[in-house]
Every structure is written in structure tokens, then in C-alpha cells.
Structure 1
Amino acid sequence: MRTRLAALTTATVLGLALTGCSGNDDSVTTKPEPKATSSKTGSDKSEAPQEPAQEEPARIGDTITLAGMDDGSELKVTILKYVDPAKPADPEIFGPEGGKKWAAARFQLVNTGKSTYPDSPSNGAKIADTGGQRFDSTIGDITTGPAMTSDLSLPVGEKAVGWMVWEVPASSKAATIQWAMDSGFADEVGQWNVK
């Protein structure tokens, strides 16, 4: 009995050790929340087994649930719209540098966590183009609508909506947008395909 218990304990400890060795790499989430579908009615005939549906990457309009650094910190994040090029609200005063353009995405953040979520959301927004170049967000007011606040304090159950802007080369074509909580420092990163 003792030998059996020792073997079981050793197997359990090894299993726990192996599962704890996954590393600290950020987790990129491209799986959108499931869409509501209507249920089928009809016969109870069993159907032939089907191959599992291939997971579709998130696209503009899809919602991804992300966790933050604090325990119980969670947001449902949706990119509502993408504009390229985005026109500066006052180009005489502030706009993209020569040879560059602005691109922008309208984000919706819904606090589904356990406490008020503070952040400067645009710090966690990045865009990648089809050539593999990646760009951090920039400050910019555009004609399409108001920017996401830079000093967010989002109570549980409430939402924040606003545009985040990137300055990219004029010839750049966007491929993906990434966003992470806690000014980009959270481990979970949401990714949406732009094309």
C-alpha cells in the first residue's frame, strides 16, 4: 500500500511540475466570442460525425475576452470599426508626418471583471502591416470620432468607446491589430485580422 501511495504521489508531483513549466510568454488570443445562433428543430436522427470546425481568427466586429494583471480583472474587447487612412481633425495643426498616414480603430471595452479598471488604453494598442512591421499607437484626433480617453477608470459593468490611432508609412497595408490590458503589460493579448 505504501509503495502504491508513493508512486501515486510521485506521479502527481511530476504532473504538477510539468504543467507549471509552460513559460511566461504572452498568450495571443485570436478566438472571438461565439456568435448567437438559432437552434435547429426537427427530427432526432443522428448525423454522421463531422470534422470539428476550424477556429476562425477574430476580425473587425468580433469580441475577445481578455484578463488583466490583477486577479479578477477582465474586459470584453471589440474592435467596432477600422479606418485607413484616418483623416486628422485639424491637419493645419497636427497630422501625420510626410510620407506617412494615420490608421485608426474604434474600440469598445466592457468591464466584466470584479473591480474598477484603470488604464491608458491606447498604450496597449499595436498594429502590424503585411510586411511584418509593427507600430505603437500615437496621439491624434480624427474626423471619424472622438479618441479613447487616455485616463480611463471603468466601473464594473460599464463600457468605454473611442478611437485609437497609429501613424504608419503611406504605403503600409494593415494585417492585424493587437491589444492588451494594463497599458500592454498584461499576459493575454487580443488579435484581430484587418484584411
Structure 2
Amino acid sequence: MSNYSRIRLTAAAAAVIGALTVTACAGSGDSVVDKPKAKASAKADSGQQKAEEAKEAAKKEAAPEVAETGDTLALKGMEDGSKLDVTVVKVVDNAKSSDEFTAPESGNRWLAVQFQLVNTGTKAYTDSPQNGAQVADDQGQQFQTTFAEVTAGPSMSSAVRLKPGAKALGWIVFEVPKASKVATVQFAMDSGFAEQTGEWKLT
């Protein structure tokens, strides 16, 4: 066999191996969850309830339902029995520092998001939630968290430990350019390594 033939065979084999590798990565099961859990509603008389249901049905037909501020997403961790209900409770754009020593860098601002985490699994949840959160602007630029205390309220603990049924509440702060229009916030368990990522639309 000539050297040219050997080179062609080697290149072909490398191409096949590369294609198999890409296929394996694509089938890893990672997914983005953005359909909120149903909200519990207060009791209402039948006429009012029907009107509300009709309004909600019309809204769903107009646009697909995606999670927004106030909505809860059910997320899974890497281990069996590791689950959280995660809610984006409030969002404060241009959040202010609660002390005189820290501030965003020149040209940037802080965006603070209050998260509530409820352990709905059968195992204890232990993590640093900030590691699994990020925001993105309408241009697709993504921004990570920053350590900052804001006047909006207490920060999310960097070492959350929750037994099944327990919950944690706190603010996570992101530093973004002043010119950026933040469009979404994401959260994933296991410091961001879980296969499921929750996503909320910020309006």
C-alpha cells in the first residue's frame, strides 16, 4: 500500500471517530427547562373562575408559556433523588450596594435576582447556588455572578444545606454592562453541572 493510500485511510478513520464523538456529546441528555409549574390559585366563584380560565387559554394560544419572574421550575440534579423547586421571586435592575466599599466597575451595573430553593427530593441538597446561575442579554452575551451585598435584601448563602422539604431564600447578584438589556436568567443544580438548566424570561 502506498503512503498516499495510508494517509487517506488514516484521515477517513479520524473523520469517522470525530463524527461518533460529536454524536455522543449531542446525545448527553442536557436540556433547558422553561415551562413553569402550575400556580396554586385562590378559590373563586364559578363565573369569575371561567372568565380567568378563558383569559389564560387565550394567552397560551397567543404565545407559548415560558417561565417569568414569580414562576417556579422543577429541576433535577445529577444524583437520583436530588430535586429542587426553583423560583425567581423578584428582580432588581441597577441594584445598589449595601455598603460604601463595593460597587460595579465603571460602565457596569448590578442586576440582583432573588431565588427561592425548595428541596423536593429525597436527598439533602448541598451546594453554592451562585455557581449555577447566570444571565444573558438580548444579544446572547452571558454574564456570571459577582459577590456583592445589595440593599434589596440578604444574599443567598454560598453554602446552602437543605434537608428534604426545607427551603432557602436569597439574592444573587450579576454584574452586566450598563448598555446590556438582560433577557433571561438561568439556574442549574450541582454548581451548574446538572443536565437540566432552568431558564426564566425577564420582561
Whether TM exceeds 0.5 here: the answer is yes
What's the CA shift for 1:41? 6.0
Distance in 2 (CA, whole Å) between partners of 1:64 and 1:193 is: 12
1:160 corresponds to: 168
For residues 87-106 of structure 1, the aligned pairs below 5 Å read: 87-90=96-99, 92-106=100-114
Match of 1:63 in 2: 72
Which residue of 72, 89, 92 corresponds with 1:80?
89
Aligned partner of 1:182: which letter? Answer: D
The equivalent of 1:34 in structure 2 is 38
| Secondary structure of residue in 2 paired with 1:131 | coil
Residue 194 of structure 1: aligned partner: 202
Q: How many residues align?
A: 168
Q: Which amino acid aligns with 2:116?
A: Q
Quick one: which amino acid aligns to residue 75 of structure 1?
L
Give the secondary-structure state (helix, strand or coil) at the position aligned to 1:167. strand
Q: Partner residue of 1:148?
A: 156
Equivalent residue for 2:117, pick from 102, 109, 113: 109
- 1:8 corresponds in structure 2 to none
Q: Distance in 1 between matches of 2:134 and 2:160?
A: 18
User: Helix, strand or coil for the counterpart of 2:144?
Assistant: strand
Write the letter of the residue equivalent to 1:35.
K
**2: CA distance, partners of 1:21 / 1:39:** 49
* Alignment counterpart, residue 174 of structure 1, candidates 164, 167, 182: 182
* Alpha-carbon distance between aligned partners in 2 of 1:147 and 1:34, rounded to the nearest angstrom: 27
Question: Alignment partner of 1:79: what SS?
Answer: strand
TM-score (norm 1): 0.80
Displacement of 1:55 in angstroms is 3.5
Compare the two structures and name the one with the higher helix fraction: 2
- Residue type matched to 2:92 in 1? V
Change (3 A) 1:96 1:22: closer
Name the SS of the counterpart of 1:122 in structure 2.
helix
Return the letter of the residue paired with 2:113: A
Which residue type is aligned with residue 30 of structure 1?
Answer: D
TM-score by length of 2: 0.77
- Classify 1:41/1:178 alpha carbon distance in 2 versus 1 (closer, same or farther; 3 Å): same
Could you tell me how far apart the structure 1 residues matched to 2:44 and 2:77 are? 34
Superposition RMSD on alpha carbons, in Å? 2.4
Q: 2:28 aligns with which of 24, 27, 31?
A: 24
Q: Is 1:31–1:55's contact at 8 Å kept on the other side of the alignment?
A: no
CA shift digits 1:104-142 (9 cap, x unpaired): 100000000001100000110000011211001111100
- Structure 2 stretches lacking a partner, 5+ long: 1-23, 48-56
Cα contact 1:101–1:169 (8 A) shared by 2: yes
